[in-house]
């Protein structure tokens, strides 16, 4: 995305380089494309606004919302022209929404822009590029609209269309007293996990009752005691439009990661909400709702793409019915017409013949086919003949495509048709039209469209079922009351209820669009031709050269490419009034030797496009025979080649000292290689060749005598090739290069020593350049720059901002160095995994470079040595991601893009299918029941090993925030290995052998995250790949006193009994909790009470959060499972706020001796104070660093790469109260 943003640099191009720079035509901004055959407009994506486009299209296709917004006039909302006036109250957001809806309805463009709307939101370029949640946007946009419409007649627009209420009731079983609470909603949020569909979840929410009994009684205010009760919820008020949000995204507390639920979740096209409502005495139709929009999310929980399926209620678009063509509709009475009707060549020729200029844009050709025959190209011909544009390209003998392939026309030999042929063509179209189902406007066939940003496609209603499940699945549902009827005048009428001022604005905009498209079409129909006048040229040195000056010899002519060669010839005759004799127009090209004529343009009735004349073509105007009295050979075969010939010459008259001379010579490409001897006046000798690619003097090839009759082209020589000619008597004194320097027969060295005065310590100080007396100083400078490695070859960057995906108003950085080409990548890289702003280095490499070679280059540039390094790609949260394991794969194959950051990480990657993991030793602090004490373990290890433990100051308490972990070493193991095999291999580590562990059954294995045990690995015979450890996994071992066999439902907890009268706890003890009956608080309390032999009602328990030094009491209140519920919907300690898991610390308080509410210890107070102090120090450090970085950026001009935290979605609205 950030590649190809650099300015072109032509500073190294020599002014003596052949060829004259062509005049570039500056192409203005082209007008937007017209609407496609659906006649509906999409919305352009601003970078990451697909979620916004989907919601806006849904609101646009809600006619009641759209018309209610249109009903608010300028007298209430103000005018956009007054928005910059200080005292004017202009409600910008509703006004911009009005304009956007009017553009979607009336403006003839493929896609509308939301830039003005997002500007009214107060969004910056960064916010437009950031992905957000569409459910969040729905609530925020409605809130912003309500705020914007305060004080207008539309103040209740959102409330009137989308507001509903839910009533929650609790009925006392004793006195029948009803306690109720009413909730408002604009959208209903329903669960997806463990639910089969929408109706099932609504039944769980609004039909089933929740019973309070046994140890979970309800306190009735009337009875003033705990009683049995029933809780239920019902829909009290239904809105005209019901919005339903599906909870697709969840959090896995076992794996500690987010995930998207892609399970099947059905929803009906029409739903009856009567069973879920409080009042059910109305007619059934009052509870019926029809689906009209489905917003779909494609991707995962960290990113993706939105598009929307929408039902066209007002039939504003052209929708093609998708039923298959019935074989019974075939007309058996006209077999010849049917056969021709199945021939796409005949059908397309017929359509083009009916066009006024026999020319039509390719995009409109498909629409014409659909309009005249009632059937699209994709439906009728694509399966057999491929896409329409490709079909036109495969038939150049009939169809003529423009250079940009935007328009198509018939060749001239196909334009003349007999009247009988035209009649048969009309019959063909009539036959196709009678066979096709046509455009179905039947109200019984709903018109559904898939709107994906700018693109709009018709779909079938049954296609919605494909969005029930998968990575691309429904995310928001929109229903409308079945009783809402649209007036007949609104059907297929996009101007219905649109305000007059917007109608005028859109009509004027459409006229302007038509004018711009006409101007653009006219501008795109002209060529820039360079006319080379034959009388002003002379032929010498094997090519054509201007006799006087290039200004007088070359004329520039702008010409319409739709005109013929005869018209071009006539125009040139008029320009050259003094021309005598025949005029021949030939295509010429500039070559290093000069100008060469290739072929003659014949056929005055051919257009320039048909004659394959390109924009910027060089046209040679002459008599077709000779120039300046010299007969000219034309064509590719005799193209002049400029060759550099090296040979020996005497250094002076009568001198016997020879020196090597390089001289340019021009030969026709079809000349024999032996012509070199004739040009040099040498009777015979040896010829050695060196191509341009290998001009370093290391790859010379001798030409055998039998190949002297071959042509230069047959020998593979081209412009710039080197030829070394050696006399036949010079065999003993070879002229081949030795160690990069040329030597002659007298062993004299011809070179210059170039010194490097550039201020750089890493570059070479001097270099020797081979030269002759005829070498140009410019060439010496270029060679020296290359040898000294001061700079590589300069490559200009020709990408447009659109191709580089850069928006107007974006900030770009200008960096030292050369721009990468389209095949190169601009990458950042850094050492280690702890990255600070400004610590990255950058590099430009080829995208075809392998990971291994890229690693070597980065190591060399960073000054690192060794082979124990690998590359990791920085992930979306700026942390070290997965390593690049395939070292032989190219960067392009691994989807590395310009702007990515790679991290140089120390350590060699394991082979494929293996894991390399650090192994730690873990001993919980002051844990009873373990066979080894900390002192004993410390003695078991060498003096070099140190514990990483926090100081144990203060009273006894729970395990400190910093866990004691001792590094044992790295271990490489196959993913196919089992857990017990991992334990066995870990026991073989030298550090573990000192502990004298008797059996693998006495070891627990934990994963390590944030330097503390995280997930307990159980089931010894399970393969490691089933745990999904990942390539960054770390493990720790814990020693046990006795063997244990934890089941899948067992949870290991560290329990500590609080010491009465003190702010301290006893030693921790392991407790195994069987969660087969559920993760409820009551079940845990009962297990703890049984373990400590205490009454369950006389204990209080709390979970300890060591990273916060806080205790969270686990409430004894718990919802019971409803007796009539089909699905379990009970509270679980796995969820918030407890998130209970293996290894958590549980504090127990005996209420018989200690009845206060405080669970904290002295160490907790100290830890909180330390956290506050560290947070304050970090804040000050960040402020200092930010100030220093700001000064550095402003003074030194170095662009620092700051990365801010994720920002929430917001819309800024002015106050109108």
pLDDT value, residue 975:
85
Angstrom CA distances, 771 to 274, 663, 687, 757, 780, stand at 96, 13, 21, 21, 8
Token digits for 936? 């004993």
Evaluate if residue 938 carries a pLDDT over 70: no
pLDDT value, residue 476:
96
Evaluate if residue 926 carries a pLDDT over 90: no
Confidence band, pLDDT 50/70/90 cuts, at residue 747: very low
Angle between helices 92-106 and 50-60 (to 10 degrees): 80
Percent of the chain with pLDDT over 70: 75
Query: Buried b / exposed e across 270-307, counting CB within 10 Å, b at 16+?
Result: ebebbebbbeeeeeeebbbbbbbbbbbbbeeeeebbbb
pLDDT value, residue 838:
58
3 state SS of 1104: strand
Angstrom CA distances, 970 to 401, 826, 986, stand at 65, 34, 9
Confidence band, pLDDT 50/70/90 cuts, at residue 8: very low
Enumerate the active-site residues.
50, 305
CA distance 803 to 379: 33
Token digits for 861? 């540039």
CA distance 144 to 123: 14
CA distance 691 to 425: 59
pLDDT value, residue 961:
44
Confidence band, pLDDT 50/70/90 cuts, at residue 394: confident
Evaluate if residue 360 carries a pLDDT over 90: no
Please write the tens of the pLDDT for every residue from 1095-1142: 888 899 999 988 888 999 987 654 444 444 434 444 678 777 888 888
* Nearest CA among 55, 32, 188 for reference residue 121: 55
Please write the tens of the pLDDT for every residue from 1024-1066: 888 878 777 889 998 888 888 888 888 999 999 999 888 899 8
Evaluate if residue 611 carries a pLDDT over 90: no
Confidence band, pLDDT 50/70/90 cuts, at residue 944: very low
Query: Buried b / exposed e across 189-203, counting CB within 10 Å, b at 16+?
Result: ebbbeebebbbbbbb
Which of these ranges, 425-434, 654-663, 836-845, has the smallest mean pLDDT?
425-434
Confidence band, pLDDT 50/70/90 cuts, at residue 81: confident
- What's the alpha-carbon Rg for the chain, to the nearest Å? 41
Beta strands per DSSP E along 330-387: 359-361
Q: How many helices (H) and strands (E) does the chain have?
A: 27, 52
Q: Do 1034 and 1059 meet the contact criterion of CB atoms below 8 Å apart?
A: no
Evaluate if residue 587 carries a pLDDT over 80: yes
pLDDT value, residue 1119:
41
């Amino acid at each position: 995305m950030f590649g190809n943003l650099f300015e072109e640099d032509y500073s190294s191009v020599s002014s003596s380089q052949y060829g004259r720079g062509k005049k570039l035509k500056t192409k203005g901004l082209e007008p937007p494309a017209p609407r496609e055959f659906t006649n509906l407009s999409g919305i352009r994506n601003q970078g990451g606004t697909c979620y916004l486009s989907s919601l806006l299209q849904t609101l646009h296709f809600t006619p009641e919302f759209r018309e209610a917004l249109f009903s608010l006039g300028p007298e209430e909302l103000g005018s956009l022209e007054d928005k910059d006036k200080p005292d004017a109250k202009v409600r910008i957001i509703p006004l911009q929404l009005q304009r956007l809806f009017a553009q979607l309805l009336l403006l003839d463009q493929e896609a509308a822009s939301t830039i003005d709307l997002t500007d009214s939101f107060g969004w910056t370029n960064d916010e437009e590029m950031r992905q957000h949640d569409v459910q969040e946007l729905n609530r925020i946009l409605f809130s912003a609209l309500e705020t914007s419409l305060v004080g207008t007649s539309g103040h209740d627009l959102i409330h009137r269309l989308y507001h509903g209420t839910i009533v929650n009731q609790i009925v006392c079983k004793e006195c029948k007293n009803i306690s109720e609470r009413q909730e408002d909603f604009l959208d209903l949020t329903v669960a997806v996990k463990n639910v089969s569909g929408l109706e099932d979840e609504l039944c769980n929410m609004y039909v089933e009752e929740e019973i309070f009994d046994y140890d979970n009684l309800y306190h009735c205010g009337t009875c003033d005691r705990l009683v049995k009760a029933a809780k239920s919820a019902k829909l009290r008020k239904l809105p005209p439009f019901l919005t339903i949000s599906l909870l697709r995204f969840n959090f896995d507390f076992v794996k500690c990661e987010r995930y998207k639920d892609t399970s099947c979740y059905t929803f009906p096209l029409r739903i009856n909400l009567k069973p879920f409502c409080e009042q059910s005495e109305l007619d059934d139709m009052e509870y019926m709702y029809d689906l009209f929009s489905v917003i779909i999310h494609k991707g995962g929980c960290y990113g993706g793409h939105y598009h929307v399926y929408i039902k066209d209620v007002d039939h504003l678009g052209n929708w093609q019915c998708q039923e298959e063509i019935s074989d019974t509709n075939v007309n058996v009475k006209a077999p010849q017409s049917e056969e021709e009707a199945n021939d796409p060549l005949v059908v397309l020729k017929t359509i083009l013949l009916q066009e006024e200029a026999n020319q039509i844009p390719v995009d409109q050709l498909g629409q014409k086919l659909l309009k005249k025959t009632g059937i699209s190209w994709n439906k009728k011909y694509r399966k057999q003949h491929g896409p329409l544009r490709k079909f036109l390209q495969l038939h150049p003998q009939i169809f003529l495509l423009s250079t940009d392939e935007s328009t198509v026309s018939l060749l001239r030999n196909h334009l003349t048709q007999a009247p009988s042929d035209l009649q048969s063509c009309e019959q063909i179209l009539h036959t196709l039209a009678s066979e096709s189902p046509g455009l179905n406007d039947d109200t019984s066939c709903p018109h559904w469209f898939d709107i994906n940003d700018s693109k709009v496609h018709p779909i079938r209603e049954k296609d919605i079922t494909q969005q029930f499940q998968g990575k691309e699945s429904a995310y928001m549902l929109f229903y409308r009351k079945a009783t809402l009827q649209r007036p007949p005048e609104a059907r297929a009428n996009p101007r219905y209820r649109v305000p007059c001022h917007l109608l005028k604005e859109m009509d004027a905009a459409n006229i302007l669009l038509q004018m711009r498209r006409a101007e653009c079409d006219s501008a795109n129909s002209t060529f820039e031709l360079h006319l080379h006048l034959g009388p002003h040229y002379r032929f010498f040195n094997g090519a054509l050269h201007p006799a006087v000056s290039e200004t007088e010899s070359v004329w520039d002519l702008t010409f319409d490419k739709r005109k013929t060669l005869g018209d071009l010839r006539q125009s040139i005759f008029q320009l050259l009034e003094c021309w005598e004799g025949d005029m021949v127009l030939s295509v010429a090209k500039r070559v290093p030797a000069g100008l060469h004529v290739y072929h003659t343009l014949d056929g005055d009735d051919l257009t320039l496009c048909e004659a394959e004349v390109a924009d910027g073509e060089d046209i040679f105007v002459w008599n077709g025979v000779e120039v300046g009295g010299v007969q000219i050979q034309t064509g590719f075969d005799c193209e002049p080649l400029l060759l550099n010939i090296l040979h020996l010459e005497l250094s002076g008259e009568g001198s016997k000292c020879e020196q090597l001379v390089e001289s340019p010579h021009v030969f026709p490409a079809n000349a024999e290689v032996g012509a070199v001897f004739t040009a040099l006046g040498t009777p015979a000798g040896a010829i050695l060749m060196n191509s341009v690619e290998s001009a370093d003097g290391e790859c010379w090839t001798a030409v055998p005598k039998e190949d002297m009759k071959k042509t230069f082209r047959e020998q593979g020589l081209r412009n710039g090739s080197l030829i070394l000619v050696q006399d036949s008597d010079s065999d003993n004194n070879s002229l081949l290069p030795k160690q990069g320097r040329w030597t002659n027969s007298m062993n004299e060295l011809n070179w210059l020593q170039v010194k490097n005065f550039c201020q750089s310590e890493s570059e070479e100080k001097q270099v020797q350049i081979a030269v002759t007396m005829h070498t140009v100083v410019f060439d010496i400078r270029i060679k020296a720059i290359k040898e000294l490695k001061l700079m590589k070859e300069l490559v200009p960057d020709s990408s447009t901002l659109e191709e580089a995906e850069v928006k107007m108003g974006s900030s770009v950085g200008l960096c030292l160095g050369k721009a990468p080409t389209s095949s190169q990548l601009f990458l950042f890289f850094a050492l280690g995994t702890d990255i600070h702003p400004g610590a990255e280095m950058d590099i430009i490499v080829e995208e075809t470079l392998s990971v291994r070679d890229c690693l070597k280059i980065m190591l060399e540039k960073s000054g690192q040595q060794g082979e124990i390094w690998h590359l990791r790609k920085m992930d979306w949260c700026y942390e070290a991601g997965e390593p690049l394991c395939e070292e032989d794969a190219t960067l392009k194959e691994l989807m590395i893009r310009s702007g990515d950051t790679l991290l140089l990480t120390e350590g060699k990657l394991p082979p494929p299918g293996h894991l390399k993991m650090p192994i730690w030793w873990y001993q919980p602090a002051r844990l009873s029941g373990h066979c080894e004490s900390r002192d004993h373990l410390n003695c078991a290890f060498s003096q070099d090993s140190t514990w990483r433990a926090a100081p144990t100051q203060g009273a006894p308490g729970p395990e400190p925030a910093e866990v004691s972990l001792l590094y044992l070493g790295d271990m490489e193991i196959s993913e196919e290995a089992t857990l017990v095999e991992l334990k066995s291999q870990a026991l073989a580590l030298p550090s573990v052998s000192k502990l004298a562990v008797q059996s693998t059954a006495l070891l627990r294995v934990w994963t390590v995250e944030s330097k503390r045990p995280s997930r307990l690995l159980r089931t010894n015979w399970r393969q490691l790949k089933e745990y999904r450890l990942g390539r960054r996994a770390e493990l720790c071992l814990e020693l046990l006193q006795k063997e244990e066999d934890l089941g899948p439902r067992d949870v290991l907890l560290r329990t500590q009994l609080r010491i009465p009268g003190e702010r301290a706890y006893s030693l921790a003890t392991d407790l195994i909790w069987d969660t087969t009956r559920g993760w409820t608080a009551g079940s845990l309390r009962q297990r703890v009470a049984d373990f400590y032999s205490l009454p369950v009602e006389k204990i209080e328990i709390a979970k300890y959060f060591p990273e916060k030094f806080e205790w969270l009491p686990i409430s004894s209140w718990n919802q019971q499972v409803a007796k009539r519920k089909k699905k379990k919907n009970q509270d679980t300690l796995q969820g918030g706020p407890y998130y209970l898991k293996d290894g958590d610390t549980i504090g127990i308080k005996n209420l018989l001796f200690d009845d206060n509410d405080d669970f904290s210890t002295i160490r907790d107070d100290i830890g909180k104070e330390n956290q506050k102090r560290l947070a304050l120090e970090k804040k000050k450090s960040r402020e200092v660093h930010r100030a220093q970085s700001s000064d550095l950026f402003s003074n030194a001009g170095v662009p620092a790469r700051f990365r801010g935290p994720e920002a929430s979605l917001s819309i800024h609205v002015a106050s109108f109260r």
